[in-house]
Amino acid sequence: MLRARRVRGRVRRHPFFTGRQLQTLAAVDVRGYIEHRREAGAGNAMINRELGLLSSALNYAKRAWEWECPNPITGR
């Protein structure tokens, strides 16, 4: 789950994915997140970095912990 991210000494909360299980993430959720962040004033570069972080975390969980979770961000 993507819950908080520390940036320049501040913690920003992204409640969009809070309470979601990784196995249920789908492309529609990613599109919703992108729209949510754009409405909040985030630029494309910031959104891409955030999605990259989530994608890396999902890939790591698959490799290191053998989790069976989809990565709907791959190929975006």
- 8 Å CB contact between 44 and 34: no
Angle at 66 between CA 63 and CA 69, to 5 degrees: 90
The pLDDT, as a whole number, for residue 73 is 93
27, pLDDT greater than 80: yes
**What are the tens digits of pLDDT across the range 50-71?**
999 889 989 999 999 999 889 9
Instruction: Kindly report, residue by residue over 13-26, the tens digit of the pLDDT.
Output: 567 888 888 888 89
Answer for the pair 14, 4: CB distance below 8 angstroms, yes or no: yes
> Between helices 27-39 and 44-65, what is the axis angle to 10°?
150
Whole-angstrom Cα distance, residue 52 to residue 56?
Answer: 6
In contact, 65 and 49? CB cutoff 8 Å: no
Higher-confidence position of 4 and 65? 65
pLDDT score for 30: 93
